[in-house]
Copies of this chain bind each other. A is one copy, B any other.
Amino acid sequence: MIYRLWYWPSIPGRGEFVRLSMEAAGIPYEDSAREQGVSAMIADMGSRKRRGPFAPPYLVLPDDRAIAQTGNILLYLGDTHGLAPADPADRLWVHQVQLTVADMIAEVHQAHHPCGVGAYYEQQKSEAARFAAEFRAQRMPKYLGWFEKTLGEDEWIGGATWSYADCSLFQLIEGLRYMFPDRMMALEPLIPALVALHDRVAALPGIAAYGESKRRTPFNEDGIFRHYPELDGTE
């Protein structure tokens, strides 16, 4: 079974959260916009009259059904390929963590695009600095502290083995380190369990191999996690 994953080819973005879980599990997929180009993605989206995606990423099944929304794609993959616990309560908990990661990522995006989704960062730099200051001081400790507390002494966020939410937490830490290196340096001593979880995910054979491959896209200033030094700070 070969999936087609459609996502903007030049950024990790939200698509990377889907890629990571598939890579960790060794699920074959075509990274379709990289293979076929962005124009093919636009054409594919436009051709779907009903139940198409609002936006990439979306996953196309062999029967041509499209599944969109990062958390929803991961819910599907989790159930279909055992990337989430079988226990219903654990399974729902993993999804809750994933949606909380998504909320934090939306705020990360707002940190460089507070006043306009379609406008450039350069058109909203001072406003971004205001949001980023609050994000560093208030929101990062709140979100990361919640993940840390809820992880406790467990190895994985939702059960006896890794789930898609663990892969997402790995990428969240990776992205925050890229975007806010000074702030993360200050915060990481407060979140040792989360950092250890990150390291465990990094050591999964599928993730380690992916990280060394050309398929893994580096962070850059067109994506969600952007390193603008003026938005970082130790507090």
**Residue ranges of A at the interface with B (Cβ–Cβ < 8 Å):** 49-52, 54, 65, 67-69, 71-72, 75-76, 89, 92-93, 95-96, 99-100, 103, 106-107, 110, 114-119, 124, 127, 130-131, 134, 138-139, 143, 146, 149-150, 152
Contact = CB atoms under 8 A, between A and B. Distances in A.
Given A118-B134, A139-B117, A50 B95 contact: no
Nearest to A139: B117
A110 B110 CA distance: 8
Which of A93, A96, A118: most chain B CB closer than 10 A?
A96
B131 A114 contact: yes
Contacts of A127: 114-115, 127
A51 B157 CA distance: 10
A139 B55 CA distance: 12
A52 B149 CA distance: 9
Copies in the complex: 2
A15 to B, nearest CB: 15
A119 B138 CA distance: 11
A67 to B, nearest CB: 6
A136 to B, nearest CB: 12
The DSSP consensus for interface residues of chain A is helix
18 contacts: A49-B149, A51-B93, A52-B149, A65-B89, A69-B96, A69-B100, A71-B99, A72-B95, A75-B75, A110-B110, A110-B114, A114-B114, A114-B115, A115-B115, A115-B130, A115-B131, A116-B130, A116-B134
A226 B49 CA distance: 33
Nearest to A90: B51
A110 B113 CA distance: 10
A54 B103 contact: yes
A92 B76 contact: yes
Contacts of A54: 100, 103, 143, 146
A71 B95 CA distance: 9
A128 to B, nearest CB: 9
Nearest to A89: B65
